[in-house]
Chains A and B, each alone.
Chain A
Amino acid sequence: MEVKIPTRAYSGAIRPITLGKGGKAFTVGGETAFPFYTFEGQMPNQPRFGLEVLDLEPSDWPATLLGAYGAVVKDPAAWAKKCVAELGADFVHLTLAGTNPNDQNLPVDHAVKVAKAVAAAVDVPLTVWGCGSAAKDAEVLKAVAEALSDRRLCIGPVVEENYRQVGAAALAYNHVVIASTPIDINLAKQLNVLLGNLGVKEDSILIDPTVGGLGYGLEYTYSVMERCRAAALTQQDDKLQYPMYCHLGVEVWKTKEAKLPGDADSALGDESKRGVLMEAVTAATLLAAGADVLVMRHPEAMRLSRELVKGLATG
């Protein structure tokens, strides 16, 4: 019996955005169809995977996660190097957790010093990510953008409260901004409009839709991402035609279920596999919704997710 496969006529495309500089730079985005719907459009650049490095030794990571890195977690530069050289990360995402004014409140100098050290240790694209306090991030990210003006960094989270300062710094030093909004398609669009008005170029924006981890709001992120992608590809919503950057590892590994101990026969199963699967399944779900750039924490979860992409993109 003949089966005629229906195909959509897409009217838009995701902009290709190049991250980093030199031989290890790569491009994400460029899709002309829904994620992995390669029977009706192109996915010229496969989603990319990075590992997260913190500026200070992590205080709340479970042993199953710390064990994947060993002693390097005390030294951000050595840690980043291991992520790339041994664990195969496409890029490094440096989180400046120590600058949080509600916690250690380390100064801008600290941030610049760590960012420079990490940048010197790796030649892959580098994201420098603030602590989430809009005011502090404005100060910190501005200084980092200037100090690493030759790297074409990704910097974020750029939010409505600080987009002027951070956006201007990114513009001045040709970095990519990660526009971060709280799980809302209209706010995502609005921030991109503001960045555009500021003069940030169309080849220098990534959308961070804000990730809810598996069991912790993933469904909201999933639908907002699907809607962003649909608006971009089928309604020519030009302000949403950017690749999506998903900072997911942190969300998965802060949940209690990822950290609880247990063996293979316990109710939540083997602790060495549970967190990894929770992270990999979160990644798979986000990939189905349109994730282009994924920040992960466990190298094994990254390996599994990458294997999935390989199967979906090339099989």
Chain B
Amino acid sequence: MGLTGIQIFQLLPKTNCKECGVPTCLAFAMNLAAGKAELKQCPYVSEAAKQKLAADSAPPIRTVEIGTGKGAFKVGGETVLFRHEKTFVNPAGLAMLLNDDEPEASVAGKLKRFKELSYERVGLTLKGNAVAVRAAKGDKAAFGALVTKVKAETEGGIILMAENPEVMAEGVKACADRKPLLYAATPDNADAMIALAKETKLPLAAKASDLEKLSALTDKLAAAGVQDIVIDPGSREIKKALHDEIHIRELSIQKKFRQLGYPTIVLPFEMTKDPMMETVYASMLLAKYAGIVVLSDFRGHNLFTLLLERLNVYTDPQRPMKTEQKVYEINNPGPGSPVLATSNFSLTYFIVSGEIENSRVPTYLAVLDTEGLSVLTAWAAGKFVGDALGGFIKKSGIADKLKSPTLVLPGAVAIISGDVEEELGSGWKVVVGPKEGAYIPAYLKQNFAQ
């Protein structure tokens, strides 16, 4: 940003009216400077200030919202190049391609999977975001009919893929109230697509064959008053596609190059015919900056894999992921099973639960809320200690399910075993387990195999 928070503050009303959602004009100015707020959130800013600030206060990459209600999702709004600098903002949207010349059974199967494939993980629901309906036939009626069907059967976002404006209009007619993304305006059809997007106030994708032509095209769109833009630089081989993604992100963030300050859309299925390779290309582009990734199909094996990657890439690197505090049952434990204790840092939980599963030994895993700290860090911070752990185990009531309750502590905190024993009382046997997750299977097999 050219202007500092203080410089921006000078141009604001300084009334601290709070209507923008933050307590003071200064705080709002700081948010503007950091690209975390938009000027239009201030209802009282003067025209003169608006003009002066407009060029400077918008985030370097525009945030575009697609879809409505539960199916709405945002893309773009990114502020950094690397996730260790600051959390990536809006997870890439994952879309499933649906052609209007696909056999009915294929359409039905795809829509079914789109609706049903969803995964619970670390308290989040992971699922795909949109259906991309493509006018493969170039026939208005066929396109409109499929869009109508998709709208009726799904809640997700819709991407309308047609380059003929008349065909596109048919799709828009069928689902405009669902706020679809129109893909795409090209240098050849831009005028008609702009008219359509302006009339309906829908987000519009711009597609050109290189970054120069794309910049000219978005310039034209913006001049005509289309603001919600998604861009496709047209690269259809992986090296160029990756480089274009990098150039677009760096130009918009480092150079404030407005013409490319928009989320991108990538189509890996146009880079290869092999669905496996398509997934691998998608994963590379997901790591490096794609805003929307359109896949030829959603299957559990490709969708789940990419959702996990997206989760990993877009988590906040500063804040540890946490798992819910509770006693988990692994491998169908019974009255004779041990209780292993660990922290609720999600990585710790995943590793420990994974190792227990590998051991195939029926086990209870007691996960203590340590505010996302790992076992040793939590111990050092006074959170993984005798009374906290003992109190949680007692409250959980797990002892009632066990014949001779045995609690296994992580080896790294053997030092707390006396305190835990004291807290739990004589009904429990407290033992010290291995220091590393990798040794858990061998430990369980040796000591608790049935």
Task: State whether A269 touches B300 (Cβ < 8 A).
Answer: yes
Interface status of A86 (Cβ within 8 A of chain B): no
Expressed in whole angstroms, the Cα–Cα distance for A285 and B82 within the complex equals 13
B350: chain A residues within 8 A (beta carbon) = 215-217
A265: chain B residues within 8 A (beta carbon) = 109, 113, 300
Expressed in whole angstroms, the Cα–Cα distance for A274 and B300 within the complex equals 8
Interface status of A23 (Cβ within 8 A of chain B): no
B317: chain A residues within 8 A (beta carbon) = 219, 223
B84: chain A residues within 8 A (beta carbon) = 223, 226-227
Q: If A215-B308, A216-B354, A223-B317 touch, does A277 touch B302 (CB 8 Å cutoff)?
A: yes
B283: chain A residues within 8 A (beta carbon) = 280-281, 284-285
Task: State whether B280 touches A266 (Cβ < 8 A).
Answer: no
B347: chain A residues within 8 A (beta carbon) = 212, 216-217, 220
Pick the interface stretch among A76-84, A196-204, A254-262: A254-262
Pick the interface stretch among A87-95, A147-155, A168-176, A301-309: A301-309
Expressed in whole angstroms, the Cα–Cα distance for A308 and B272 within the complex equals 11
Q: If A2-B212, A264-B299, A281-B280 touch, does A311 touch B238 (CB 8 Å cutoff)?
A: yes
Q: If A3-B215, A256-B354 touch, does A285 touch B309 (CB 8 Å cutoff)?
A: yes
Task: State whether A278 touches B238 (Cβ < 8 A).
Answer: no
Checking A215, A267, A307, A314 against B300 with a beta-carbon cut-off of 8 angstroms, the contacting residue is A267
Interface status of A188 (Cβ within 8 A of chain B): no
Pick the interface stretch among B170-178, B221-229, B248-256, B333-341: B248-256
Expressed in whole angstroms, the Cα–Cα distance for A264 and B296 within the complex equals 15
Interface status of B17 (Cβ within 8 A of chain A): no
Checking B284, B308, B438 against A132 with a beta-carbon cut-off of 8 angstroms, the contacting residue is B438
Checking B239, B251, B299, B354 against A315 with a beta-carbon cut-off of 8 angstroms, the contacting residue is B239
Expressed in whole angstroms, the Cα–Cα distance for A44 and B337 within the complex equals 55
Expressed in whole angstroms, the Cα–Cα distance for A100 and B246 within the complex equals 44
Indicate with 1 or 0, residue by residue over B273-317, a CB within 8 angstroms of chain A CB atoms.
000110111011001100000000001111111101101110101
Q: If A5-B247, A264-B299, A285-B309 touch, does A312 touch B216 (CB 8 Å cutoff)?
A: no
- Which of B83, B121, B237, B283 counts the most chain A CB atoms within 10 A? B283
Expressed in whole angstroms, the Cα–Cα distance for A257 and B358 within the complex equals 12
Interface size class of A (residues with CB under 8 A): 35 or more
Interface status of A268 (Cβ within 8 A of chain B): yes
Interface status of B14 (Cβ within 8 A of chain A): no
Task: State whether B288 touches A222 (Cβ < 8 A).
Answer: no
- Which of B119, B239, B442 counts the most chain A CB atoms within 10 A? B239
B219 to chain A, nearest CB (A): 6
Closest B residue to A307 by CB, please name it.
B277
Interface status of A230 (Cβ within 8 A of chain B): yes
8 Å CB interface, B130-162 against A = none
- Which of B119, B242, B434 counts the most chain A CB atoms within 10 A? B242
Closest B residue to A3 by CB, please name it.
B211
Interface status of A288 (Cβ within 8 A of chain B): yes
8 Å CB interface, B397-450 against A = 434, 436, 438-439, 441-443
Task: State whether B250 touches A6 (Cβ < 8 A).
Answer: yes
Task: State whether A219 touches B302 (Cβ < 8 A).
Answer: no
Interface status of A109 (Cβ within 8 A of chain B): no
Expressed in whole angstroms, the Cα–Cα distance for A37 and B243 within the complex equals 7
B63 to chain A, nearest CB (A): 22
Expressed in whole angstroms, the Cα–Cα distance for A5 and B355 within the complex equals 47
Expressed in whole angstroms, the Cα–Cα distance for A217 and B122 within the complex equals 12
B300: chain A residues within 8 A (beta carbon) = 262, 264-270, 274
Residues of B in contact, count (CB < 8 Å): 67
Expressed in whole angstroms, the Cα–Cα distance for A307 and B268 within the complex equals 14
B355: chain A residues within 8 A (beta carbon) = 254
B442: chain A residues within 8 A (beta carbon) = 100, 102-103
B238: chain A residues within 8 A (beta carbon) = 308, 311-312, 315
Task: State whether B121 touches A215 (Cβ < 8 A).
Answer: yes
Task: State whether B259 touches A304 (Cβ < 8 A).
Answer: no
B115 to chain A, nearest CB (A): 12
Task: State whether B312 touches A222 (Cβ < 8 A).
Answer: yes
Expressed in whole angstroms, the Cα–Cα distance for A157 and B114 within the complex equals 43
8 Å CB interface, A51-80 against B = 60
A308 to chain B, nearest CB (A): 5
A315: chain B residues within 8 A (beta carbon) = 237-240
Task: State whether B312 touches A218 (Cβ < 8 A).
Answer: yes
Checking B242, B251, B312, B357 against A256 with a beta-carbon cut-off of 8 angstroms, the contacting residue is B357
Q: If A1-B259, A256-B354 touch, does A304 touch B280 (CB 8 Å cutoff)?
A: yes
Expressed in whole angstroms, the Cα–Cα distance for A37 and B439 within the complex equals 40
Task: State whether B311 touches A215 (Cβ < 8 A).
Answer: yes
Expressed in whole angstroms, the Cα–Cα distance for A262 and B311 within the complex equals 23
Checking A100, A103, A256, A311 against B239 with a beta-carbon cut-off of 8 angstroms, the contacting residue is A311
A284: chain B residues within 8 A (beta carbon) = 280, 283-284, 287
Expressed in whole angstroms, the Cα–Cα distance for A100 and B239 within the complex equals 43
B82: chain A residues within 8 A (beta carbon) = 223, 226, 230
Interface status of B188 (Cβ within 8 A of chain A): no
Q: A3-B212, A222-B83, A226-B83 are in contact. List 9 more A-B contacts (CB 8 A).
A: A38-B243, A60-B358, A218-B312, A264-B299, A267-B300, A281-B308, A307-B280, A311-B238, A315-B240
Identify the 8 closest CB pairs spanning chains A and B, nearest first: A269-B300, A269-B301, A315-B239, A215-B308, A274-B301, A219-B312, A311-B238, A281-B283
A interface residues (Cβ-Cβ under 8 A, vs B): 1-6, 36-39, 60, 100, 102-103, 132, 212, 214-220, 222-223, 226-227, 230, 254-257, 262, 264-270, 273-274, 276-278, 280-281, 284-285, 287-289, 300, 304-305, 307-308, 311-315
Q: List 15 A-B contacts (CB under 8 A).
A: A36-B242, A215-B308, A215-B312, A217-B350, A219-B315, A223-B84, A264-B301, A268-B300, A273-B302, A277-B280, A281-B283, A281-B308, A285-B313, A304-B280, A312-B284
